[in-house]
Structure 1
C-alpha cells in the first residue's frame, strides 16, 4: 500500500523524542515522499523538576532531529511535563484542538492510551477529543505509535495492550531514524536500556520480521474514514 493517502500528517508527541522513537522512520519516509509532516509537542519541562538549561538542551536536540527526518513545523503547547494531570481537561483539549484545526491533518499519529506515562495517556485522550468527526475536516485516519519504555511498561493483563494492526516499512529510513535519535544526546542510553540505539534497531527489525520486511514501525489503527 502506498503512503500517498496519508496526506498531511500531524504527530502528537507528549515529550521531545517520543515522535522519533515512535514513528521517526515513518516521518522520514513521508517527508521524502513530499508529505507535510508537523509535530505537536504537548509539554515542556518546568522548574524545579527540570532545569532551564536541560530543557533548552533537549529542545535544541529536538530541532536538529526534526530537521534530520524532515518535520515541517513544530507546535509547542508548553504544558507542564510529568504534570499534565494538573492541567484542566478543557484546557488541554482546547490547546490540542487549536493545533488540529490549524493543521487540518489527514492523518493523526498519537501516543498509545496504554502507555505507562500519564502524560501519554492524557495526550491521547485530548487529541481524540480534538479529532472528533464533527465536520469534513476531521482527520481521515488516526494511528497510535509505540514508544519504547512507555508502551511496554504498563500492565497488559489489566490495562490496554498494544496490539499492532498496521506495519509501515522503514527499511530505507531506519538509519535516518537512528541518526535522529542519536541527536538527543541527553536521552541516549547504553544497551540494554530500552532507549539505546541497539534496542531501537532491534524493535524495528522485529516489527519488520513479523511481516517479512527488513524493518518496520508498528501502529494501531484507531479510526479510518473513507470519504467519497
Structure 2
C-alpha cells in the first residue's frame, strides 16, 4: 500500500495513528506523513522550530517519510481557506491509496479543517481512496457530545506500542493530559481490551473500496 497520514499539528501523527504507521512500515508498505499547517497559538509559535524537528524525527522513528507543506498554511486562515489546504494536500492524496486523517467532529477546529480538505480531495467520483479517521486525545473526546465511534481496530504488538511512546517522547512541550507517552500506552491497552489483544488503535471508516 501507499499510505498517507494528513495531520494538523506535529504530534498528531503519533497520537492518532503512530502505532499503525509503525506496523504498516514494518510490513513493507510505503508510508508518508504530511504536515500542511503551521500553528499560530503562542506556545506553537514559540516552539515551532523545535516542533518541526520533532515531527521529522518522529516520522523517521515510525518508519515514515516526513512531508512539510511548502509553504505551510497558517492555521488562522483555514476556516476561510480550506480550498488552499485542499490544493496543497492534493498531490499527496493522489499518490496514496490509503489515507489516515482526523475525525471531523474534533473540538479542535484545525483538525476539522484538515479532515474537511481530505474529504473534498477524496470525493469518490474523482478519486477512490480508502480513508480512515483517527482520534486525538484532548480533542476528539472534549466536545459537548463526543460522537467518535470506532468501527476498525488496528492490533499492535508491544514493539509498536514502544515505538509510538518513544516518538511521543520527542514532543516534551506537548505533554498534557492524555498526551504523555504513558497515557498513550494506557489508551492503546484499553483499545486492545476491546478486541482481546495486547494493544490497538481505533479508527472510523470514512471511505472504503473493496
Give the structure-1-normalised TM-score. 0.85
Q: CA separation of 1:10/1:188 partners in 2, compared to 1, >3 Å: closer, same or farther?
A: same
User: Which residue in 2 is equivalent to 1:181?
Assistant: 168
- The counterpart of 2:98, out of the listed 95, 98, 107, is 107
Aligned counterparts of 1:75 and 1:200: Cα–Cα separation in 2: 25
> Which of 138, 145, 148 matches 2:137?
148
Stretches of 4+ aligned residues off by more than 6 angstroms: none
Q: Map 1:44-123 to 2 at 5 A.
A: 44-46=38-40, 49=42, 54-76=47-69, 78-81=72-75, 83-85=77-79, 87-101=80-94, 104-123=95-114
Q: Secondary structure at 1:186's aligned position in 2?
A: helix
2:188 equivalent in structure 1 = 204
Q: Does the CA-based 8 Å contact 1:9-1:35 persist in structure 2?
A: yes
Once residues 76 and 15 of structure 2 are traced to their aligned partners in structure 1, the CA distance between those partners, rounded to angstroms, is 18
Matched with 1:163 is 149
Higher Rg of the two aligned structures: 1
More divergent stretch after superposition (112-121 vs 51-60):
51-60
Q: What is the number of residues matched between the two proteins?
A: 208
**Superposed CA RMSD:** 1.8
List runs of 5+ in structure 1 lacking aligned partners.
Answer: 1-6
Q: TM-score, normalised by structure 2?
A: 0.92
- Listed as ranges, the gaps of 5+ residues in structure 2 are none
Deviation at 1:52, TM superposition (A): 5.5
